[in-house]
Amino acid sequence: MRSILIITLLSCFCAAYEAKVFSKCELARKLKTKGMDGYHGYSLANWVCMAQYESKFDTRAFNGRNTDGSKDYGIFQLNSRWWCKNSNQPSANACNKTCNKFLDDNIDDDITCAKRVVRDPNGMSAWVAWVKHCKGKNLSRYLAGCRL
């Protein structure tokens, strides 16, 4: 019984270790190094704004309450119906990833998938939070003080 408790506690610590909540500037720097500033016509501030409203910069953000039964994963809330595969429903899996890959602290694969999303005709309008909070707005505050 004691070994089960120890294993359970270690699992919790490992899961917490894999999670990361970025600061706005830390995320902006990471996205910039990955070529997101100006990618398909979207400024770095658009990406940071979108991530703020989708996940609050949390790599472990998860939304399992979509009306169509799909789920959203990670810092960019990538949807299981279109972008990744979970075991519960059919998916286009356009990013060729399992959805849980978007819940760790390595966001390189999340960024690659986000680039795939914006290459579709909807561009960043694929993210409802971007349309509602970022599109057409002054986004200078999302990079303010970041010294990029």
Q: Find the catalytic residue in 18, 58, 68, 72.
A: 72
Q: Would residue 54 show up in a list of annotated catalytic residues for this protein?
A: yes
CA dihedral 132, 39, 32, 74 (to 10 degrees): 50
Distance CA 75, CA 24 (A): 12
- Facing residues of 63 across strands? 72
Q: Find the catalytic residue in 18, 26, 37, 54.
A: 54
54 φ/ψ angles, rounded to the nearest 5 degrees:
-80, -40
Q: Would residue 72 show up in a list of annotated catalytic residues for this protein?
A: yes
63 membership: H or E segment, kind and range: strand 62-63
Give the residue numbers marked as catalytic: 54, 72
